[in-house]
Amino acid sequence: MPAPRIAGAPISWGVCEVPGWGFQLDPDRVLTEMREVGLVATEFGPEGFLPDAPDAKAATLQRYGLHAVGGFTPTLLHVPEHDPLAGVDELLAGYDAAGAGTLVLSADSGGTGYDSRPELDEGGWKLLLSNLDRIADHAATRGVTAVLHPHVGTMVETGDDVRRVLEGARIQLCLDTGHLLIGGTDPAELARQAPERISHTHLKDVDLGLARQVQDGRRSYTEAVGLGMYRPLGEGDLDLDGVLSRLDAYGYTGWHVLEQDTILHGPPSGAGPVEDVSTSVQNLRAALPTG
């Protein structure tokens, strides 16, 4: 059976879809450093990081010797006046050209950033769940697996939200170990209970002390990220072995995307974010049951 594959993501270099998130490094530095630490694949990063045009997107990744995984795509799913399918379809042309196979959806709150979200009523939930399956079915016709990424400050964040998706929709999940932990779900337990629903991972390590401050409202999510809530993999409170061994027991062969969400307050001095990414790559390689 093929081993799971390891990929990187621009968010570990502070490159983020949220306006005003922090200093944004240029693609040349990020993609070059990915290769320097031995990564051979990446997620696309936010709109504007790589060229929009499908062929140019594919060519850019090829120039750096990186395979395309797919990308994190905040999508409005619960608003009756908004049909998300056309936007997703347009995006999938870039997947075709680059050979990417995984569309990572988050349930956009409709606001900016991840520090608050509205409450969903029953009608909103019904629409959100049916849109998830419509998108998953449509992506499958284009050879792409759509996954829902539970995420702080989106419409799918808490343990109850995740259960609703598992019970009310057919879409696969992205096991983002950081967002699940902060949202109150134990990622190793989820991997034990529903391994058949996990087709993608974002492996993040977390400082639980800061995560608890976000959970009980003492700090905003953005503030906690700025204080270093995300740690290099293996250096925080995540039960990485627990997650990996449960996925391995089910025969997981998807991507493991390494992420350490970071906010840069200006051009980095010294080596910058690549130092932590390199630590995470080494720790993940050492921890993978398949070696």
Ligand X SMILES: O=C1[C@@H](O)[C@H](O)[C@@H](O)[C@H](O)[C@H]1O
Beta carbon nearer to ligand X, 207 or 261: 261
Decide if residue 202 touches ligand X (CB under 6 A): yes
With CB under 6 A as the rule, give the number of residues binding ligand X.
12
The correct pick among 179, 219, 231, 256 for binding ligand X (CB under 6 A) is 179
**Cα 92–chain centre separation:** 17
Tell me, letter by letter, the H, E, C secondary structure of the chain: CCCCEEEECHHHHCCCCCCCCCCCCCHHHHHHHHHHCCCCEEECCCECCECCCHHHHHHHHHHCCCEEEEEEEEECCCCCCCCCHHHHHHHHHHHHHHCCCEEEEEECCCCCCCCCCCCCCHHHHHHHHHHHHHHHHHHHHCCCEEEECCCCCCCCCCHHHHHHHHHHCCCEEEEEHHHHHHHCCCHHHHHHHCHHHEEEEEECEECHHHHHHHHCCCCCHHHHHHCCCEECCCCCCCCHHHHHHHHHHHCCCCEEEECCCCCCCCCCCCCCCHHHHHHHHHHHHHHCCCC
Segment near ligand X (CB under 6 A); pick from 9-17, 129-137, 229-237, 269-277:
9-17
The correct pick among 17, 205, 207, 276 for binding ligand X (CB under 6 A) is 17
Beta carbon nearer to ligand X, 149 or 246: 149
Shortest CB 204 distance to ligand X, Å: 7
Residues 136-175 that bind ligand X (CB under 6 A): 149, 151
Residues 24-83 that bind ligand X (CB under 6 A): 72
Decide if residue 191 touches ligand X (CB under 6 A): no
The correct pick among 4, 7, 8, 11 for binding ligand X (CB under 6 A) is 11
Decide if residue 176 touches ligand X (CB under 6 A): yes
Decide if residue 190 touches ligand X (CB under 6 A): no
Shortest CB 80 distance to ligand X, Å: 26
Segment near ligand X (CB under 6 A); pick from 11-19, 47-55, 160-168, 184-192:
11-19
Shortest CB 202 distance to ligand X, Å: 5
Decide if residue 261 touches ligand X (CB under 6 A): yes
Segment near ligand X (CB under 6 A); pick from 10-18, 29-37, 163-171, 234-242:
10-18
Decide if residue 9 touches ligand X (CB under 6 A): yes
Beta carbon nearer to ligand X, 9 or 162: 9
Binding site for ligand X (CB under 6 A): 9, 11, 16-17, 72, 149, 151, 176, 179, 202, 259, 261
